Amino acid sequence: MAADKQAETKGDPRARIVDALLALAAERRFEEISIADIAGRAEVSFADFRDAFPSKGAILAGLARRIDRAALSAGGADLDADKRDRLFDALMRRLDAMAPYREGLREIAAWLKRDPIAALAMNASIVNSLRFALASAGIDSEGMAGAIKLQGLALAWARVVAVWLDDPEPGLDKTMAELDRQLTRGERAVAGLERLERLAAPFKAIALAALEQRGRARDAFRRRAREADAPREPDAP
């Protein structure tokens, strides 16, 4: 299996570029890694590099998709478990998928702390990955409430990853404890959000009805204005 994976990587310029960036990130600061460095390490031409990725940030998005595929392929949700346990398992599978890249990810995480604009750009990729993690655990993430859940989970995930990067235990005891703590906080926040949604539901219905009535009144006004401006037929003699 490892040999097959290596052969697949060797024949895929995109995979080689991702691997090259991670290897270089384990050796030096992210800001010091140039496109030429990555192309040289990956043994690809600049033309092939440009076809594969437009920037270093895009390479990180490619890495995220690789990790997503590995985590989502590792196993399905236990339907007998509750949603919290299913999400816990889904996120632990994601950490397992990240394990081979831990050294490079440590520097990438440090770089994101040094570059808030890059961190903001990466947030969209992380949120999208977590959307699939929630879906694999049978948790809805649609609508405004879902967007709030996702962003809250992204913040919690950043704290979990920070612990994981420096967790010396093979069993990841500290990481699992932090993940459990963050999910507990998340449950409380989601429960509060759902209560707020229930309380706001009547007001939302009233607001929608008012907007609909205003729209009907606007349409009626425009219709009358068009009729008033329309040329009239002359009266018959």
Residue 95 resides in a domain = yes
* Per-residue pLDDT, 147: 85
Query: Distance (Å, rounded) from C-alpha 30 to C-alpha 43?
Result: 19
Q: In which domain, by residue range, is 52 found?
A: 9-146
Q: Say yes or no to pLDDT of 183 above 80.
A: yes
Q: Say yes or no to pLDDT of 87 above 60.
A: yes
Phi-psi region of 143 (alpha: psi -120 to 50; beta: other; left: phi over 0): left
Q: How many domains does the chain have?
A: 1
Residue 160 resides in a domain = no
Residue 151 resides in a domain = no
User: Beta-carbon neighbour count of residue 138 at 10 Å?
Assistant: 14
Residue 157 resides in a domain = no
Q: Say yes or no to pLDDT of 15 above 50.
A: yes
Q: Tell me the backbone φ, ψ of residue 113, rounded to 5 degrees.
A: -70, -30
Query: Distance (Å, rounded) from C-alpha 196 to C-alpha 203?
Result: 11
Q: Say yes or no to pLDDT of 214 above 90.
A: no
Name the residue with higher pLDDT: 39 or 152.
Answer: 39
For residue 76, what are its two tokens?
């399905």
Residue 152 resides in a domain = no
> Of 222, 201, 203, 199, nearest to 211 (Cα)?
203
The CATH number assigned to the domain holding 130 equals 1.10.357.10
Q: Which residue has the tokens 């594969």?
A: 52
- Going by C-beta distance under 8 Å and a sequence separation of 6 or more, which residues neighbour residue 236? none
| 59, 71, 143, 79: CA torsion to nearest 10 | 180
> Of 178, 161, 168, nearest to 126 (Cα)?
161
* Per-residue pLDDT, 82: 84
* Per-residue pLDDT, 216: 65
Mean pLDDT of the region 190-198: 50
